[in-house]
Structures are given as C-alpha cells and as structure tokens.
Structure 1
Amino acid sequence: MTEPDWSSCSERELWFFVAVELQKRGIATVLVGGAAAAVHSKGAYRSGDIDLLIDAFPAPSEKALRDAMLEIGFEAKGRHFRHPKCDHLFVEFIRNSLHIGKDYQIEPQTWAVDSMLVRGISATDSVKDRLTSYVYFEARECLDQAALIAAVNEIDWASVEKWAVREGEAMLKAVAEVRTLANDSGSSQ
C-alpha cells in the first residue's frame, strides 16, 4: 500500500495503511475508540491516535507485533508506536475482547482498501462506545464526540436504545442527550 502523507495524514489514512500492512503480515485488527470516532465524524473530531484491537487467536506475541510495526517504519515508544515522519498521530494496540459496555456481540464493519478488507466498529457502535466512556468514565467530551458521529451518519437508534436498556438508566439518559445534541447540530438522523 502507498504510504500516507505522514505530515498531514488523517486517522483514517493512517489506520488504512497500518491495518493493511499488518494484515499482509497475518495480524488482524479492529479500529476502536477515539480513532473510530474520528473516522465516523468525518474528521470533525481528531483523536490524535489510532486504537487497534488485536483480533486474532492466538494473538501475535509482543515481539511479532513490534517486529511488524518496525518493518513498516514505526518506532516503539513505550506502549505506543510512532512513525518518525508523523508528529501528530501514534498507534496503540489493545489486547482485549471486542465489546462495548456489557455487549460482547459486536460485528465490525468492513472497508475495502487495496483489495483487502480492514475492520472497525460501525458508526452506530462508535456512538455506543463514546456513550460508554461518557457514562462510565465521566468523560463529557465523549458525549460531544457521539453527537458529531450521529450528526453525519445514519445511526440505528433502535439498536442504541435496546443496548442502553441493558446498560442501565444512566445510559438511557445519555442516549437522550446525544440525540438532542445531534439534532441541534442539524442532523436529520
């Protein structure tokens, strides 16, 4: 895959590059977290990092992951990986099961990139993910991120509300808040 313009690449461009290159090396990933919010908000939100969940069993060893990242030009900086020409974004890997709140039945969305499929959480699941951080970690900015996503995507609100019921009363209130914010920003969703 062609390298992105390191000095100005978006989360989406960096994600596509890293995900494709890792997949070529047998390492499957799923884009999650703030980077998924950046992608689904179409750049209205910038996360500053790429969160990739390792989605392989057995998972690659730390050495195999590190070696793969070194092969594609990244340097290990603690638990992060940075490309020496990219000052504004870094990559972080998550070793956990794919879940949002109490929901472990997440089906990643796929994007076709250079005749390969890369995976990330859907816009609807990204709204749920941001609401999870808002409610459970009291991260107000995540409510705003969820609203940015909802304002520019068709969200499956029935799915969000069904999920919120299982998460509890605070999550139901958060869903109402994000819908109001998204509508106030001009969303027709």
Structure 2
Amino acid sequence: MKIVQKIKSALKELGFVQKGRYFYHPDSAFFIEFVTPPVSVGKETIKNYNYLGAITLLSPTDCVKDRLASFYYWNDRQALEQATMVCKEQKNV
C-alpha cells in the first residue's frame, strides 16, 4: 500500500472525510490539506523547511480545566476568559 493510501485510510478511521484535496472532520472547524510538491507561496518555491515535530494538543475539556486552575490558583482573569471562549466554541456542551 502506498503512503498516500495509508494516510487516507488512517484519516478515514479517525472520522475525516475527503473532499478534493482537503480532509474535513465534522467535529472541527479546521481541515487538512496535502499540497502537491513543490510547496510554494505564489510563484516562490519554498526551499527551507523547519521540522518542529509532532503537535500534542489538549482536549477542550483538559484545556478548560487548565485555564480554570490558572484562574483559581493565580487569580488570572485572562485564563478565565480563555476557558469561557473554549466552552462557547463547543457544539456538544
């Protein structure tokens, strides 16, 4: 199985739906795009890449717990506002 098929299969198992070159998930406002090489911005080909590694994200629930802990322990009003914003963005709450 080619790498492209492996990626498509893995995304499908995670609930993503392919529409053209984009992969959408019903629980996310974001999408994934795999661009055709060479990667470019306008007519300028990108030549230097920075590998930053895997991205690990908190779930919305864990994010809110973290922000509320900051508010509770350090009286961080901005953390309370952030927790509220995350909650408001959730569809199933």
Return the TM-score normalized by structure 2. Answer: 0.40
Return the TM-score normalized by structure 1. Answer: 0.23
Larger radius of gyration: 2
Asked which structure has the greater RCO (Cα within 8 Å, sep 6+), the reply is 1
